[in-house]
Amino acid sequence: MSEVSSHAHPSFRGKRLFLAIELPDYVRQRLSELREEPLKGFHWVPEERFHLTLKFIGDFPGQYQPRVEAALDPIEVHSFLLPIESLGSFPPKGSPHAVWAGVANGHPRLFQLQKRIEDALFNIGIEPERRLYQPHITVARVNHAAPETVRQYLKRHKEFATAPFKVEAFHLFRSEQTNGQRSYTCERTWPLLD
């Protein structure tokens, strides 16, 4: 079989896939408390869609999914505690298009897990992310909000933090859009080592 490619033709009818860490309910609840209504230009991510992306695969031919899963099967990383702490925006300069919650100093095992996923998928022809991995949870999409509005929002929430949670697995999700609403469905779960 030739290399797997996630570059799709416009008439593509496969799946849009990504790998992520799910968040416990208490973390989702704390993230939901960051909403401020009304805040012009902010479009809040629904609580059920909060997640920490490890790798966005993109539009992908369904017949290759077993190969993706097989490439990920050998990954072994121990479970770890992850604190969610501080807010930021993308891009850091210029007009922001997203507000996110970060993972404090992160955890070496988070970066180890992400790197092993990148390497495993690169071995079957899926291009690695060109940008440095910056783990985050998107809280809001920002359209036409004044940069000063975003800056003041981040300042109001500069002390934001949640209790750490234990990361015990990572998941393959399918992203779909139906009637203008995006939803995520878990396709497969890989437990981490105890």
pTM: 0.89
CA 119 to chain centroid: 18
Report the pLDDT value the prediction gives residue 38, as an integer from 0 to 100: 87
Domain for residue 2, yes or no?
Answer: no
Domain for residue 1, yes or no?
Answer: no
Report the pLDDT value the prediction gives residue 3, as an integer from 0 to 100: 55
Is the previous residue joined to 96 through a cis bond, with omega within 30 degrees of 0?
A: no
| Structural contact between residues 124 and 74, judged by C-beta atoms closer than 8 angstroms | no
Split at pLDDT 50, 70, 90, the class of 11 is: very low
Report the pLDDT value the prediction gives residue 181, as an integer from 0 to 100: 85
Mean per-residue pLDDT of the chain: 91
CA–CA gap between residue 102 and residue 143 (Å, rounded): 21
Domain for residue 29, yes or no?
Answer: yes
* 129: containing domain: 15-191
DSSP sequence for 24-92? -HHHHHHHHTT--SS-TTEEEPPGGG--EEEEEEEEE-GGGHHHHHHHHTT---B-EEE--B-EEEESS
- CATH number for the domain that contains residue 155: 3.90.1140.10
Report the pLDDT value the prediction gives residue 22, as an integer from 0 to 100: 98
pLDDT surpassing 50 at residue 1: no
Q: What's the number of domains the chain is made of?
A: 1
CA–CA gap between residue 28 and residue 188 (Å, rounded): 21
Split at pLDDT 50, 70, 90, the class of 178 is: confident
Domain for residue 10, yes or no?
Answer: no
For 13-53, the pLDDT digits (tens) are 679 999 999 999 999 999 999 999 889 999 999 999 999 99
Average pLDDT value for residue range 90-107: 88
Higher pLDDT, 157 or 5: 157
Higher pLDDT, 95 or 115: 115
